[in-house]
Each structure stands twice: as C-alpha cells, then as structure tokens.
Structure 1
Amino acid sequence: MKRYDVAIIGAGAAGMMCAVEAARRGRRVLVIEHAKKPGEKIRISGGGRCNFTNLYANDGITQGTGGYLSENPRFCVSALKRYTPQDFIAKIEAHGIAWHEKTLGQLFCDGPATQIVDMFVSEMREAGVDLRLSTTASDIERTADAEAGGFTLMAGDERIACSSLVIATGGKSIPKMGATGFAFEVAKKFGLPIIEPRPALVPLTFEPGFLEQTKALSGVAIDARVSCGKRHFDEAVLFTHRGLSGPAILQISSYWREGEAITLDMAPGTDVFEHLRAARSQSGKQAVQTALATILPKSLAQAIAARTAANAQLGALSDKALRDIANAVNAWTVKPVGTEGYRTAEVTLGGVDTRALDGKTMEARDVPGLHFIGEAVDVTGWLGGYNFQWAWASGVACGAIVRTLSGRIQ
C-alpha cells in the first residue's frame, strides 16, 4: 500500500493550489482527478481567458459590502486575508503570464486560460506531486488511529493511505464537465452537515406569458440595475429565449429564491417619467416608442410601448399614463419561475457547513486530517473572479498546514 502525507481529490483550482503549497513544504502529495485533464473549469472560464481574480475580491470582507455568500460570512475572512489577489497576480507574473483588467476589477489572461493550468501542472511536477488523471477515488475509510488523522482509499484499483485527505472536487455545477456531488457524499459519510446546494450565477427562467412578450427581444442586451430584496447589481442584462441572463441576472440569481420577484431598472440614472414629459412638451405628436428609443434599444422601446400604451402619441397621454410607462422601464417587476439549473450554473451555492470546519486550515473540527476547500465549501463568490480567489486562498490555507505521515501538523 502506497503512503502519502496528503491525498487531494480533485485537480481543479483549489486542489492544484493546495497540492503545490503542501508539496513545497516537504509533504508527499497525491492528486487524484477523474477527468482526463486537470483544471477543466479553469480552461473554460472567462470565455477561455480565465477571469482568475478580482482586484476588489477582498474589499467586501473588510468593508461589509459583500462579495461572498455563506451561512457564516465571516468564515472566509481568514483565508482571504492571508492570500490576496495581489499574491496571485505576483504568482502568474513570475510565470510570465500577461493579464489585463476588463471591468469592475475583473482580471483576465491576455492569452488562453490554459496558461494557468500549465502553470500549476509545471509547479506540481517541480514540487514532486504525484498527479493521477482518469482515476476515480472511492472507498474512503479512516484508519484505526483516527485521532491522529489518517485515511485509506482506493485510487482507481490501488489502495493508498494518507495522513491528510483533502476534498477539492467542487460542487454540482456544469455536470457535462464531470461535476458531481462527491464532496457532499464524503461530508455526509463523516457526519459533517451540508447547507443545501443550489445552482448559482445562473440564468433565470420565466413562464410562457413572459416569454411570449419578450421573444422578439432574444439577443438584446442592456445595461440595467437588477434588484432582489435589499441587494442590487448594475451590469448588463441579456434577453434570451428562456428568460433573462447576463452578468446582472447571474449575480442576482445567487440571492433570488423561488416565489420572489426581481425588479429591473432598464435605464439606470434616467428618470424616464421626466424624459417622456419633456418629449411630450416638445412634440406631442411623437410616438411613445420613438421617445423611448432615444434611451433604449429600438426593439425594447417597441415592446414596452406595445405593452403599456400601444402606438399612442405622447400628447394623448396623461401624466399617470406616462408614469406607468416610466415604471415599466425604471421599475419593471417580474417573477422568475426558476433557473436553468446546474447545466449552466457557474457555481454551486451552499455546500459543506463552515461551522464544521476550521477557518484557518479548512480541517473538519471533529474529523482530524479531513479537509474541504474551494467550491465544495459553503462559500460562494460574486461573478467576476471572486470564486477563483476563494479557490486560491482556501487551497493555500489548507496546503500550508496539513499532517505528515507521523500525524504531526507542520
């Protein structure tokens, strides 16, 4: 039976970061990945350019303005403070990977996302990590000396032993890439509670009546403010044949719950009522859709005019009628019926309950040597590099403090 200090299941962002950190500290590390290649989510992220972090990823944890969702929002603070976006920028720059800021602090590679994957593969090789691809992990058991930490498991058809076991298999999002609930199954096996997982950063779907009203808008994108409860996001919204998507919708989907409505301001910063009143006073014969088309895409202006005032001229409309039209733009309230699910969700909300984990080491409090990192944990970031920053930070936190074969934490 082969023995390792650390066995990491999952060669994604968090798993590979953890492997490098642990191996550089003298640990004998095994990484088990069921896919044919490591880092598949890294490869497809950011349209193939990898939105690897966000300049503001740590601001919300210190200022209380958000950035991460969790039943215990303070849990992620320790790891994120110890490994910052600037730390990861320094890492990729040391490998000669060029990058740029796109918008709202979002950082992307100038070249393909595979540069990030290649960087980790190279670092793991140099540090002596044993990477096994196309290999399934199963039959995980604690050793007899469980109090000191220690596990055995099958890596393909070989049984191996390790002092520390790290679960870095992510959540259920994008199953076509091999995503499963493996991490949650392991957590349940060892008695760790789970915050109910659900798709997050995902398009919202609507009932047939809504889709009939908006079918001509499929493919139209606008800048908007989208609100749900007390949370709002100012980014792009995209009309689709299933409902609504785009960055603002993906962001609000993490906060939306079934039965709730969302509100869209499709002309943020513009008082549409005053805009229409001014247009009416200047040209009462002007059609509603013509006036709206000066601040909205033409097809959207036509759809709103048809829904609220047909083809009426502005001069024929009262202030109340103009107010109704304005509300259809500045405060359009709609009720989604669901989401597109894990098939298109960028991340999984919920996961291993952080109350069962040590925020400094990611170790299960009641199961010595068992760690959970990355998306498997109930920490979910905003769109735009936040989730990768959590992967890097939680991977470093875990990799820096894992047990050796003697059971010692170094």
Structure 2
Amino acid sequence: MSPDRDNQTAEFDAIVLGAGAAGLFCAGEAAQRGLRVLLVDHGRKVAEKIRISGGGRCNFTNRDLDPRAPQRHFLSANPNFCRSALARFTPQHFITLMQQAGIAFHEKHKGQLFCDERAQALIDWLVERCTRFAVQRWQPAQVLAVAREQLPGQDICVPGRFCVQTSMGEARAPQLVVATGGLSIPKIGASDLGYRIARKFGVPVVAQRPGLVPLVFSPAQQGVDFAALAGVALPVRVRVQPAAARPDMRTAVVFDEDLLFTHRGLSGPAILQISSYWQPGDALCIDLLPGQDALALLRAAKAGSRKQLVNIVAQWLPQRLTEAIVAEQPQWQRPIDQVSDRALTALAERLQRWQLMPNGSEGYAKAEVTVGGVDTQALSSKTMECRQVPGLYFIGEVVDVTGWLGGYNFQWAWASAYACAQALREDG
C-alpha cells in the first residue's frame, strides 16, 4: 500500500513502526478505538517471527503465566516493570480473542499454546483486524528519518509531534510507537532501528546480547567430542555459575528441560532457557540425572551387580553419552564391583554437577530473542510511553524485557501493545 503522491505530508493520530506481533496488534487495537493509524514496515512480509516460531505453528502464549507475579518468567534490568502490562492483559485475554477469531489451538506441555494449523492463520487475523479498522500500511517502506516536527523558520520542535520520512512518503503524527523488534534472526529483517530512534531522543538503552540461543564450546577445553555426540538428547537440570555477582542472578535460576548435543556445543530447551542468563566468563552446571541421587544409585548397583560400569550407567543415560563419560577415567572402565568408592563418588559428581565453560553462543542468527534494549526506567509501565519524550512509545522486543522460552515473549508483545494502544489518544 502506498500514500497519495501529492507532495503532502500524510497526517495520522499515531504512527507504528514495525509490523511484527506487537506492532500489528497495537495498530489494530488503536484503530479499533477510532484512531487514524499508519503502520510502517521495511519487509515485504509481515510478522515473519510469528510465521517461523514454534515449528511454524507459533507458540503464541503460555497458560502458566501468573498474573499476580508475571515477572517470574521474564528477565530485565528492571524485573518488575513488566508486571503491570502483563497483569492487565493476560494469556486468557488473548486466548479469548483467538477463540472469537476461530483459530484452533492446543497445549503441548508446561502451558505452551500452539496453533493447530500453520501460524499464517494468526498472521492473517492480525492483518485482517488492521484492515477492518482502516489502518493504513506502508510496506515495504524504509524509514529514512524520524524527527520532531519543526515550525517553519524556527529551530524549535513542537512538543509531541513526530515526522517520519520513508521511502514511500512522509507522515506526521503526535504519537510514535516503536515496535521494531530486536537483533535476533537478521535473515527475516531484524535491525537496530528501534535502538537508534531511542538514542536520537535521548532514551537510554541497555546493552543487547543474544537470548534463547544455542551455546558453543571448545572440545579441547571441555574434553568432550560434541560432534560425536550430536543428536543425543536427554532431560537435565541446568543453572549458571556466574563469574561474578550480578543483579540478575540474585536468585538462582534453574531450568528442568531437555538438552540436545550439537556439532558445535549444546542446544535444546534447557540451554536456550539458561542462555538468556549466561554471560561470557560464566560456567554452566548441568545435572544429567535430575531428581535422582546418582551416588546412591551407583552404590546400590555395586552391592548387587558385577556388570561393567558403562552398562550400569547406560540404564539411566543415552548409550553414546554414557560411553563418552566413562571413557574419561580409566577407573570407570571396569566392572562396577571393582570400582572404588572414591571413583564412584567422582562419577556421581560428574553426572550431577557437570561444569563446563561455553566459548560463546551461535549469535543473533540462531537467537530467538534479544536480551536488553530500551531501558524500562525511561518508560511508563502502564502505557509504555517515554517519561521525558511525550508521545513516544516503545513496545515488544525492542524493550529490555525478555521472556522465557514457551510463549512468554509473544505474551509480552500482546500485553505491551495493548497497554500502549489503550493509552494512545485521538488527535494526540
């Protein structure tokens, strides 16, 4: 869609930059309230992250989010910031909208809700809402400049008015909503536009890093042939052992999820979850037998068996992983009744407190989200509006709020978009 080519600046009540989950939902909600809304996006397709998430079925929210303490599932330099929006627009609110739209869904586990069919149905519904309520879309349109409007012949800005220059024309509105997302998955159009806009208007930005991302390791340093174990998966318990005290690690964060070995390191839900809390220099501590007492199991087996130790451990762990672990120490490569108690204690420690040091992550190319972003200290938790820049709003992933794996980040997109849409005003 394109603006009229009459050299006139198009006027709106609000301009939304970014047609992802947060931007589409915010634009539709605001237009439903009667506002004239322009939605601008540089991509040829909208909501690509919705389309590819959840194996193409989009894990769009999570029933387990507790509206009384929603911040428990989120990471931020200001962890309580997200509570207000998430408590006012809950998973049930979005579930009701999905039901009204006739989009079938199902729960997998741990409260994770997925579309029954392809995620395109969710995208189509978001776009249809925008169309129904007369949201104007400029797409694909590159944002060339964003500025406060200046009065002719003067060097002063009109408070609260924004001028957005794009490759499809110029638009002006008293309210600007930045929903441009983060840096994750650049192949579908991720950019730093939102952070640049924030800095332009003096809004602080928390340093970014990849989140929900596989971690990589050096086999030489870890003594593990990750390539030989690629494809092995098992349930584990994982936590970060930070190199130094950090505010985000004041309470130990532990995840009980599946781990997956890759050719370059570790992935799977357990690693994706903990990666958002991991920082360079931190170690990981992994329990390969969560909920069990490895030493007690080994001692019981020693008392009643003459099997090779490798065959005993293979009852509890995948064969390839068992063989790799037992091969680490000569004293483990014998019948269990011939293994010393000291060696069994060492093996139990290896199984339940495996410490290893990641070299880094797979980066933004494989990251599902971006940790960090627009500093929440600068925003109203009720409206998402900048405290020092009236009329400027930030929502979704561009904000320093990062959810756990399992639909929490989409719920933040819906909740922050809704809070913003309800705060937007007709004619500013």
Give the aligned CA root-mean-square deviation in angstroms.
1.4
2:275 is matched with 253
Q: 2:232 aligns with which of 196, 216, 220?
A: 220
In 1, Cα distance between equivalents of 2:185 and 2:150: 37
2:99 is matched with 93
2:188 is matched with 177
Q: 1:325 aligns with which of 344, 347, 358?
A: 347
2:401 counterpart of 1:379: yes
2:51 counterpart of 1:43: yes
Alignment of 1:242-391 (within 5 A): 242-284=264-306, 286-308=307-329, 309-391=331-413
Asked if the contact 2:332–2:343 (Cα under 8 Å) also holds between the matched residues in 1, the reply is no
In 1, Cα distance between equivalents of 2:351 and 2:301: 16
Secondary structure of the corresponding residue to residue 128 of structure 1: coil
Secondary structure of the corresponding residue to residue 79 of structure 2: coil
Secondary structure of the corresponding residue to residue 307 of structure 1: coil
Give the letter for the 2:395 counterpart.
I
In 2, Cα distance between equivalents of 1:220 and 1:233: 19
Asked if the contact 2:138–2:168 (Cα under 8 Å) also holds between the matched residues in 1, the reply is no
2:86 counterpart of 1:80: yes
Give the letter for the 2:91 counterpart.
P
1:168 is matched with 179
2:31 counterpart of 1:23: yes
1:187 is matched with 198
In 2, Cα distance between equivalents of 1:81 and 1:318: 56
In 2, Cα distance between equivalents of 1:24 and 1:384: 29
Give the letter for the 1:382 counterpart.
W
Q: 2:19 aligns with which of 8, 11, 36?
A: 11
Q: 2:261 aligns with which of 216, 239, 243?
A: 239
In 2, Cα distance between equivalents of 1:212 and 1:272: 21
Once the two structures are superposed, residues 217-248 of structure 1 have per-residue CA deviations (whole angstroms, 9 ceiling, x without a partner) of 10000000001142110000000011000001
Q: CA deviation at 1:144?
A: 3.4
Once the two structures are superposed, residues 88-139 of structure 1 have per-residue CA deviations (whole angstroms, 9 ceiling, x without a partner) of 0000110111111101111101110111100101111101101222111121
Q: CA deviation at 1:69?
A: 0.7
Give the letter for the 2:209 counterpart.
R
Count residues with an aligned counterpart: 403
Give the letter for the 1:15 counterpart.
G
Asked if the contact 1:138–1:155 (Cα under 8 Å) also holds between the matched residues in 2, the reply is yes
Secondary structure of the corresponding residue to residue 88 of structure 1: helix
2:249 is matched with none
Secondary structure of the corresponding residue to residue 404 of structure 1: coil
Give the letter for the 2:325 counterpart.
I
Q: CA deviation at 1:16?
A: 0.6
In 2, Cα distance between equivalents of 1:310 and 1:394: 54
Once the two structures are superposed, residues 342-388 of structure 1 have per-residue CA deviations (whole angstroms, 9 ceiling, x without a partner) of 01000000000011111111111111111100000000000000000
In 1, Cα distance between equivalents of 2:145 and 2:116: 42
> Any stretches of 5+ residues in structure 1 without a counterpart?
none
Q: 1:156 aligns with which of 167, 177, 182?
A: 167
1:126 is matched with 132
Q: CA deviation at 1:211?
A: 7.1
Asked if the contact 1:223–1:234 (Cα under 8 Å) also holds between the matched residues in 2, the reply is yes
Give the letter for the 1:399 counterpart.
A
Q: CA deviation at 1:157?
A: 3.8
Instruction: Report runs of 4+ in structure 1 exceeding 3 Å deviation.
Output: 144-148
In 2, Cα distance between equivalents of 1:167 and 1:34: 13
In 2, Cα distance between equivalents of 1:397 and 1:173: 24
2:134 counterpart of 1:113: no
Higher mean displacement: 306-315 or 242-251: 306-315
Q: CA deviation at 1:272?
A: 1.5
In 1, Cα distance between equivalents of 2:337 and 2:150: 85
1:197 is matched with 208
> Any stretches of 5+ residues in structure 2 without a counterpart?
1-8, 152-156, 242-251
Higher mean displacement: 385-394 or 272-281: 272-281
Q: CA deviation at 1:335?
A: 0.8
Relative distance call for 1:96 and 1:158 in structure 2 (3 A) is: same
Give the letter for the 1:237 counterpart.
L
2:73 counterpart of 1:62: no
Secondary structure of the corresponding residue to residue 298 of structure 2: helix
What is the TM-score normalised by the length of structure 1? 0.96
In 2, Cα distance between equivalents of 1:211 and 1:338: 17
Give the letter for the 1:305 counterpart.
V
In 1, Cα distance between equivalents of 2:227 and 2:41: 42
Higher mean displacement: 271-280 or 18-27: 271-280
Q: CA deviation at 1:167?
A: 0.6
Q: CA deviation at 1:265?
A: 0.6
